[in-house]
Amino acid sequence: MELKKNLTQTQSLKLMSQLQQSMHLLQLSSNELDSLVDDEIQRNPLLEKVDTSFDERFSFDANRNVYARQFRDDPTDDAVAGIVYEPDFYQNLHNQVCECCKDERQAELLHILIESLDDKGYLKYSIDDIVEEYPLHWRLEKKELENALDLLQQFDPPGIGARTLPESLLLQLKRHYLPQEVAICATEIIKNHLDLLSRVNVESSLQKVVRYNLNVIGKALRFIRTLKPYPCSGLGGANDTVYVRPDVRVYKRDRHWFVQSEPHLRPHVVINNTYEQAVSLDTNTVWKQKLADAKNFIHNLQWRENTILRVSRFIVEKQQDFFEFGNSALVPLKLSDVADELEISISTISRSTSQKYMICPQGLFELKYFFSTNVGSNDENEDGMSNKAVKEHIAEWIAGENKDKPLSDDDIKDKLALVGIKIARRTIAKYREALGIPSIHHRRKNYESSK
């Protein structure tokens, strides 16, 4: 072995720091941008937020079909001001430990197990993995962790701390009083025959493998369907609640739809005039650099706002019918269409539509919601229909179908063909399943049982 100096020539692409910052700002949501702006102001004393004396709001006037501008003086008069804090399920479980457990060692083990749960309430790791993961000086033992897990599984909500779906369902079953025969039947189904529940004639299939009549099986099935596959569904984790603020707003004027930015799309950040004058007279290069950084940051915030506005305007221009008639009028639109028209890279379009929201009379939508593929045309230059519009038609037709003669996938295929959209039956089945709509056989059975 010996040390040598070698000279090699390589090519690499490096983004300027200003360009890196602009790309980073563009991909942030409004809430994330607020946090980053606060951090930047803390880091650079030359920056400051403008203290606005009022907050601009808009309300929709249904009579004139326009948005009326409103002003309010009280910054606390907000929709989220009335939201009451509610602890997440992890905190609730920790609180139950404090309420019911007097033994300090057992309490420590319970807290460890709670932190090992996933957001559905299941134990993410095996007991052996938890023992190996924690430091040796904690002296965790498998047996005492198993005992602590038995205790945790008695906490609320029922089914918490399970390692598998059957175990969770059985824990929930224990919390209910059922006739003995029904309880035993439900236990056997959960332990050994959950895979049969997806079959069309589930009662007949179960009767072949369990020793109970159809009446008992039916009662057991009805009870099982009331159980939660995920113990903590609906309770939420610590970071589940995200408040979304619209970045742009769509309004109608003279029979045409337009878009404007919301006030918080670009935070009101400026350079402190007093500090800027002092730095201009100073020769300290550190402060000169901070002034340059501050100007670049404000420029990048402006560029972010302009880019999102340009993309939003293009979307609104192309999707005018959507704002009049809803999802069924969505036209196919791709990121490359916007990129070609605005002469912006596709990656920039992707960043400017992700986690950016548009509010309109139809509701609140992420910008990327308006992008969809062309369905029903083999030639991309021919007019087709957005896949989201096709789904909307399928949902509407099935919602209004004749219950005595439900629509099959082939029937829907024929109805789409009448409006010039030719797609395969299996594609229709895929869209129907994505909408959570049962097949014709299940729908017919549900209609008959409801009579």
**3-class secondary-structure state, position 372:** strand
Span 311-340, pLDDT tens digits: 999 999 988 888 888 777 788 888 888 888
Give the per-residue pLDDT at 3. 66
Name the E strands within 17-174.
Answer: 47-49, 55-61, 66-72
Q: What is the DSSP letter of 75?
A: T
Q: What is the mean pLDDT of each run of 10 residues along the chain (451 residues)?
A: 64 57 84 87 87 43 36 38 52 77 78 83 83 72 86 86 87 85 86 77 79 84 84 59 79 88 82 84 83 90 92 91 81 86 87 88 86 62 67 83 84 81 81 82 75 59
First CA to last CA distance, the chain:
87
Q: Which residues contact 276 (CB under 8 A, 6 or more apart)?
A: 46, 291
The span from the CA of 97 to the CA of 111, in Å, is 8
Q: Which residues contact 410 (CB under 8 A, 6 or more apart)?
A: 425
In this structure, what are the phi and psi dihedrals at residue 210, rounded to the nearest 5 degrees? -115, 160
The span from the CA of 392 to the CA of 414, in Å, is 16
In 3D space, the residue among 216, 184, 190 whose CA is nearest the CA of residue 203 turns out to be 216
- Top CATH class, 385-450: mainly alpha
Question: Which amino acid does the sequence have at 77?
Answer: D
Give the per-residue pLDDT at 309. 93
Where does the chain hold its CATH 1.10.10.60 domain(s)?
Answer: 385-450
In 3D space, the residue among 225, 224, 197 whose CA is nearest the CA of residue 209 turns out to be 197
Span 240-269, pLDDT tens digits: 455 678 899 999 888 889 999 887 777 888
- Per-residue tokens: 281: 């007279």
Tell me the torsion sign for CA atoms 366, 370, 376, 379.
Answer: negative
Chain position carrying tokens 């400017």? 352
